[in-house]
Structure 1
């Protein structure tokens, strides 16, 4: 049994998730009467995600802000502007695509109980009251707006903390990340239960629905990588952007596609930055920072899945609410974890803007893990390759002056 367990753990997580999906489908088609025993695995997996997600967001955002080093003479201002604009534009494109190609999801009972917000005034009022919620209550109640607001305040306040305090924060952040990795390592079993539950109750039609969702996500990400990012490079650097973009996709994006972790791809991007002869004082800071805050792919995932949930629940999303969603997607994406599937844990933050409950939102997170075999790989490839694209674009813009 020990040998079998060790052999299983040596298999790539993506491959294990594929196995979990296949086993879930086969069990649903052959032994649908075993629903209660197998479906509980998916319920437990979702419960574990719900438990760790609020703490994850709180700690990671605090650590990212408190650890930021200022005062060095670098070209970071331009890089940060590109990171923020790129992430926002990714959210913008994702929302537009969601309006043009509306997608619905298969959710469990309880969706009909949601009362959609009456308008932008109610949305803003809810947003403001959630922001000023007690920080402990925000974590307990999974109020992601309050969690994010307090994490930002704590992170800024702790910038002046001692080195030992920052080391402690870093250690706690690493511990939370490790716990998330442990939970995600159980994804194949949890997803098997989720797929079994969905197929046994709704049939194979749910998989066709996921296929449409995957196509929308992947095509949107390709559009960002091959149209929006090159356009931004051209605007700031006034040169043909495609040699740089293609090189970054080939050498950085390909590796990130398989590692599925922006953090794990940092050494690859560092080596590529050196190969491109960029300023080391800039890329030594921008590449690790980009792995934390430059999350165009995450913004696409958050926006598309949130809008799909809204369409499913017949929630009318007006233009002003959509703009707020784009901003929120950009901000929450900057807090996405560097581990595979980290952005999915931030979907409840965006869903809360539309009055969607945490229970419904976590069902959407579970759907995200099911399609994550393709979605998360493409998302990480876009995130990580964009880090080096924007770092190089800022350097080229500086050379023009």
Structure 2
């Protein structure tokens, strides 16, 4: 048994995940009544969500309390990339919607009565700010990553003057949580097998056929951002072949995010990938959980596309200037979207209000979003989460390229040898 486990662990995690994916599809098609298999997916996502808040809290706190005076991080560049990525993605969605106009068929059977969208950008930003001052214990329990980051930074800075023994204890706790995360991630093949089984056995793909054009526009726009826009951004910053880094992030982060459909649940996966890439821990321990909350390129695409589809369905003429205003609105509101499955859908009525679309119609658009969520939300989350690592790596590698004297122990390596 030990030899079998050792051999299994020696196989690439991506290959093991593909095996779990194939088995899950086969089981979903052949024995859809075997509902017990789905618990593997629930356990995997639950473990990721459970350990991620603790990991972020102790990792950030430990990194900051050990940070030397004047030590440089790349957070400014990363935040600019996060916000710029949201805006560019929204613009790509607008262009795609003009080239391939979409009309919707609303489903009267979709229940959205328990969905309460925000009333405006002010409410979104207010909720974001209130999360900053949430009780730290409550923030960890409820996986409020903005609150977790805020208190971890406060405690980390406060502990700079602590004794070496206290700092060492924090480092040991951080290492222990990181090890536990690696154990959870090693179970990904079984978790993804359970997740894909649940999707295939309960929903199937036939429900999506009526919305094929909408799905193609959404997924196509996300693919353009992932495979064209992001590589251009990477090349601009590191001046080397961008696709090795892009494909590394897609392979290592997109796959798990696609099936968990939660940026928050994918934080441990992204932390591990950042470690493999040799990125600065003081930077990625903050940028990854921050990205899970504010880096929402996929959400910006969903909000923009769905709002313009609603306007087109109602024969509302939207000028390009108005669409650009919506891009800014979508980018800003996407940054406040929840890092859990379906978070961006609640912001669609906000964008629809810009075109004078009544809330009852906007809520039907949200209902369409829930129907196609099995594909849309999975791709959206994969794009959101994989770019968290990508933009963090861009900032790190750019700094190494421009200031090689600072990184004698970590020279710039554009080849990304983990591929």
Please give the TM-score of this superposition, normalised by the length of structure 1: 0.64
Structure 2: unaligned runs, 5 residues or longer: 1-32, 43-59, 65-69, 109-114, 145-197, 403-419
2:23 is matched with none
2:77 is matched with 78
By how many angstroms is 1:150 displaced? 3.3
2:169 is matched with none
By how many angstroms is 1:107 displaced? 3.2
1:10 aligns to 2:39 (yes or no) = yes
Contact 2:263-2:385 at 8 Å conserved across structures: yes
1:223 aligns to 2:252 (yes or no) = no
2:318 is matched with 317
1:72–1:295: structure 2 CA closer, same or farther, 3 Å change rule?
farther
1:89 is matched with 88
Distance (Å, rounded) in 1 between the aligned partners of 2:221 and 2:252: 21
Distance (Å, rounded) in 1 between the aligned partners of 2:382 and 2:237: 23
Distance (Å, rounded) in 2 between the aligned partners of 1:223 and 1:141: 29
* Correspondence list, 1:101-116, <5 A: 101-107=100-106
List per-residue Cα deviations over 1:246-294 (Å, max 9, x = no partner). 0110111111111111111111111111111010011101111111111
1:399 aligns to 2:400 (yes or no) = yes
1:7–1:140: structure 2 CA closer, same or farther, 3 Å change rule?
closer
Distance (Å, rounded) in 2 between the aligned partners of 1:262 and 1:140: 21
List per-residue Cα deviations over 1:86-124 (Å, max 9, x = no partner). 111100000000011100012379xxxxxxxxxxxxxxx
| Cα-Cα RMSD | 3.2
By how many angstroms is 1:146 displaced? 3.7
- 2:121 aligned to 138, 145, 155, which one? 145
Q: What's the secondary structure of 1:104's corresponding residue?
A: coil
Distance (Å, rounded) in 2 between the aligned partners of 1:140 and 1:374: 23
2:388 is matched with 387
Distance (Å, rounded) in 1 between the aligned partners of 2:117 and 2:278: 48
When the two structures are aligned, how many residues end up with a matched partner? 285
By how many angstroms is 1:151 displaced? 3.1
Distance (Å, rounded) in 2 between the aligned partners of 1:353 and 1:88: 17
Contact 2:215-2:372 at 8 Å conserved across structures: yes
Contact 1:105-1:308 at 8 Å conserved across structures: yes
1:178 is matched with none
By how many angstroms is 1:369 displaced? 1.1
By how many angstroms is 1:400 displaced? 1.7
Distance (Å, rounded) in 2 between the aligned partners of 1:140 and 1:388: 31
1:262 aligns to 2:263 (yes or no) = yes
1:208–1:9: structure 2 CA closer, same or farther, 3 Å change rule?
closer
Contact 2:303-2:347 at 8 Å conserved across structures: yes
List per-residue Cα deviations over 1:227-263 (Å, max 9, x = no partner). 0011011111211110000011011111111111111
Contact 2:117-2:347 at 8 Å conserved across structures: no
Distance (Å, rounded) in 2 between the aligned partners of 1:247 and 1:379: 18
1:332–1:141: structure 2 CA closer, same or farther, 3 Å change rule?
closer
Contact 1:104-1:209 at 8 Å conserved across structures: no
Distance (Å, rounded) in 2 between the aligned partners of 1:272 and 1:358: 41
List per-residue Cα deviations over 1:58-97 (Å, max 9, x = no partner). xxxxxxxxx9999984210001111111111100000000
Distance (Å, rounded) in 1 between the aligned partners of 2:86 and 2:224: 13
Distance (Å, rounded) in 1 between the aligned partners of 2:244 and 2:227: 11
2:284 is matched with 283
Contact 1:214-1:374 at 8 Å conserved across structures: yes
Contact 1:105-1:209 at 8 Å conserved across structures: no
1:344 is matched with 345
By how many angstroms is 1:144 displaced? 2.7
* Correspondence list, 1:29-48, <5 A: none
1:170–1:92: structure 2 CA closer, same or farther, 3 Å change rule?
same
Q: What's the secondary structure of 2:372's corresponding residue?
A: helix
Distance (Å, rounded) in 2 between the aligned partners of 1:257 and 1:326: 25
1:195 is matched with none
Aligned structure 1 segments of 4 or more residues deviating by more than 6 angstroms? 67-72
